[in-house]
A and B are shown apart, each in its own frame.
Chain A
C-alpha cells in the first residue's frame, strides 16, 4: 500500500524553467509534509517542509503548495539551474500525536539542462 503517490517519475526542463513535482496522500492524519533532495552517491537531505495550517511555503527558489481538501502537495522550483539536477522525494508523517516515521514517495529524477 503506497501512502504517498508522487509524479512524474522523471522530468527534464531547460535552465530557467519551473519544474513542478506533485504528490498525493491518503491518510488524513498526516500533518507534516517535507521534500527531500538527493544527489547521486549521497543520502537524501531535507529541502523544505510544510504543515497543513498553511497553503504555501517558500524558501529561496523552492515553494511548496499544499491543498488540504484535495490531499495534494507540490514542489515548484523557480529559475531552475543545472545544479538542481537531483532526485526529489516527497514524504509525509504524523508528527503531533502518533509520531510515525516518514513515508516517502517513489521519487522524481529531475534533469535541468543548460
Chain B
C-alpha cells in the first residue's frame, strides 16, 4: 500500500459527460502529480501541484483541469468526454519536488 488513495476505482460514463477523479496523497506529501496511462502511450504526465500551486503542466487537454486543495487532496476534472479519454488515471505524490513518486492504484475511466 503506497498510502495514496484514489477514488473512484472504476467509472463508466458516456461521451460528452463530465467526471471528477479524486486523490488523497500520502500524509506529509506536498506534491501531487496526475498521469494518464493508455496501452499505446504508456504513462503520460498531465499536471503537477505543489502545496496548492500548479507547478508543471504536461500533455493535459484544455477539456481537463485540476486543483489541489488546502488539505492537499487533489481533483482532476475531465469534461466533454470522448471515447479516446478512456484510460487509467493515476495520481502520485512525493514529499519534495523530485525523487520517489508514490502512485495510487488508479481510476479506470471508460467512456462509451
Measured CB to CB, the residues of A under 8 A from B are 6, 32, 34, 41-46, 49, 89, 93-95, 99-107
Contacts and interface: CB of A to CB of B under 8 A. Distances in A.
A75 to B, nearest CB: 15
Interface residues of B, number: 26
Given A93-B98, A99-B97, A45 B2 contact: yes
B41 A95 contact: no
Contact of A34 (B33, B56, B100): B100
Do most interface residues of chain A lie in helix, strand or loop, or is the interface mixed?
Answer: loop
A27 to B, nearest CB: 14
Interface string B32-57: 01010000111111001000000110
Interface of B: 2, 4, 33, 35, 40-45, 48, 55-56, 58, 90, 92, 97-106
B92 A43 contact: yes
Contacts of B55: 99
Contact of A104 (B2, B43, B48, B105): B43
